[in-house]
Amino acid sequence: MQVTAKLRYLRIAPRKVRLVADLIRGKKAEEAKNLLTFTVKKSNLPFLKLLNQALANAKNNFQLDPTNLFISKLTVDEGPKLKRWRARARGQGYEIQKKTSHINLILDELVKSKKTKKSKGSDEVKSEVILSSQEAVGAGELKESKKEKPKFEEKFDVKKPKAENRDKRFFKRTTF
C-alpha cells in the first residue's frame, strides 16, 4: 500500500530542497527521520513535518506499521516564481525571482501484506509476501557470509609492498 503526502508552495528554491531530498531518498522512514533531525539545512524542518504527516496517515488511515515503511519515491518540483523588482543605478530595475517548491513523498511497505479471505468465513487473514531477493535469503546465511571475513580486513585490505619494490621507488617513505 502506497501512502502519499504533498507539500506545495514551499518558499525555498527547489535546487536547495533537492540537496536534502537526495539524502533521504530510498531510506527507511525511521532512518530518514534521524537524518533529517541532525542535518543542518533550512529545508529539514519542512521535510521532517512532511515525513511525520505521511507516517501518521499510514498508521491512522491505512493501519500500516511505521517501522515497515520506506521512502519509495520523493520528487521536488518547481512551483510558481514570485517576481519582484529591485532598483538599480540610472533608474533601472532588476528582476528578483523568489522561487517555490512542490514536494511529493510516497511511502511504501518493505514487506507487503496481502489480504486474502478464508474459505468459509468473512474474516481476512494477512499473509506476508517478501519483496526483494536479499530478504529471501535467511538472515542467518547473511551473517555467516560476513563472518568469513572480519570487518577490519574488509576496510583495510591493503597489500604491503615487497622488499624488491622498495628500491625501485622514486620517493622512499619511512613508514609502510
Q: What is the mean pLDDT of residues 34-61?
A: 96
- Answer whether residue 51 is part of any domain: yes
- Its domain, for residue 42, covers 1-85+94-114
Of 4-13, 50-59, 120-129, give the lowest mean pLDDT range.
Answer: 120-129
- Answer whether residue 22 is part of any domain: yes
- Answer whether residue 15 is part of any domain: yes
- Answer whether residue 64 is part of any domain: yes
The fraction of the chain above a pLDDT of 70, given in percent, is 64
Q: What is the CATH number of the domain that holds 81?
A: 3.90.470.10
Q: Is the pLDDT of residue 172 over 90?
A: no
pLDDT grade for 165, boundaries at 50, 70 and 90: low
Number of domains in the chain: 1
- Answer whether residue 80 is part of any domain: yes
Q: What pLDDT score was predicted for residue 112?
A: 81
- Answer whether residue 126 is part of any domain: no
CB-based contacts of 76: which residues, under 8 Å, 6+ apart? 14, 17, 18, 21, 101, 102, 103
pLDDT grade for 162, boundaries at 50, 70 and 90: low
Q: Is the pLDDT of residue 121 over 90?
A: no
Q: What pLDDT score was predicted for residue 136?
A: 46
1 compared with 125, residue with greater pLDDT: 1
